[in-house]
Amino acid sequence: MKKVGLTGGIGSGKSTVARLLANAGFPVVDADQIAREIMEPGSPVLERVAEEFGADILDDEGVLDRSELARRAFASKEATERLNAITHPAIRAESERRFAAAETAGETAVIYDMPLLVDLGLHSGMDLTVVVDVDVEERVRRLVEKRGLDEADARARMGQQIDDATRLAAADVVIDNSGSLDALEPQVAALVERIRG
């Protein structure tokens, strides 16, 4: 079974590419979705995060206040590393479980939708690394207009990811998502053929 790593900076439209690949019939293992699931009320990962960052990040029902955790965890590089040390191994373990399930089900390829694929060096374990690329200013514009982030927040989030040049250097395939969906779809169609090939 081929493992296809899909990544791109925040605001690049990686999720759109993942959706198109899912529509083509490939199972998608979504690291962001797994990250949300491991932080569900009562999960052992969430309990460890609350021990590390304060029980008051949970409400009376045990639901995480994501914005408060973000404020505390991204206040410093050291705090971010403390959060990552708890969450990243759990995300990796669940991702591996889903890869194994896809292989058992007889899938020929699986898409690993992972924003930090290159940042964490996980691209080295992939058969193909796909980077969705968009100019920085266009990504900022999309994050402000479509996700409602303010510009400073958008740029700060980008600053926490590796630079585009490093990400692009790891790519086997680069998808240019600067244009419309009509411009994107043929690139994804070509990628589908390459994965199936």
Cα angle: 127, vertex 191, 158; to 5 degrees: 75
Q: Is the pTM of this model over 0.85?
A: yes
Neighbour tally for 42: CB within 10 Å: 8
Q: What is the model's pLDDT at position 158? A: 85
Please name each of the domains of the chain with its CATH number.
1-27+108-197 (3.40.50.300), 37-106 (3.40.50.300)
Q: How far apart are CA 104 and CA 92, in angstroms?
A: 18
Residues in the chain, pLDDT under 70: none
Q: What is the model's pLDDT at position 75? A: 82
Q: What is the model's pLDDT at position 156? A: 81
> Could you give the C-alpha distances from 109 to 5, 58, 186, 195, in angstroms and in order?
11, 38, 20, 7
Q: What is the model's pLDDT at position 42? A: 93
User: What letter would DSSP give residue 64?
Assistant: B
Q: What is the model's pLDDT at position 74? A: 82
Q: What is the model's pLDDT at position 161? A: 85
